[in-house]
Chains A and B, each alone.
Chain A
Amino acid sequence: NAGVTQTPKFQVLKTGQSMTLQCAQDMNHEYMSWYRQDPGMGLRLIHYSVGAGITDQGEVPNGYNVSRSTTEDFPLRLLSAAPSQTSVYFCASSGLRGDTQYFGPGTRLTVL
Chain B
Amino acid sequence: AQKITQTQPGMFVQEKEAVTLDCTYDTSDPSYGLFWYKQPSSGEMIFLIYQGSYDQQNATEGRYSLNFQKARKSANLVISASQLGDSAMYFCAMRDYNNDMRFGAGTRLTVKP
Contact = CB atoms under 8 A, between A and B. Distances in A.
A42 B45 contact: no
In the complex, which of the residues A42, A45, A90 has the most CB atoms of chain B within 10 Å of its own CB atom? A42
B101 interface: yes
Contacts of A45: 100-102
8 contacts: A31-B99, A41-B105, A42-B93, A59-B1, A59-B102, A88-B43, A99-B50, A106-B43
Nearest to B48: A100
Interface in B70-113: 91, 93, 95, 98-106
Contacts, number: 60
Contacts of A79: none
B99 A43 contact: no
Contacts of B43: 88, 105-106
Interface residues of B, number: 24
Interface string A72-112: 00000000000000001010100011011111011000000
A100 B105 CA distance: 19
A90 B4 CA distance: 19
Nearest to A49: B99
A42 B91 contact: yes
B103 A43 contact: yes
B47 interface: yes
Nearest to B95: A101
Contact of B45 (A50, A99, A103): A103
B36 to A, nearest CB: 11
Contact of A96 (B37, B99, B102): B99
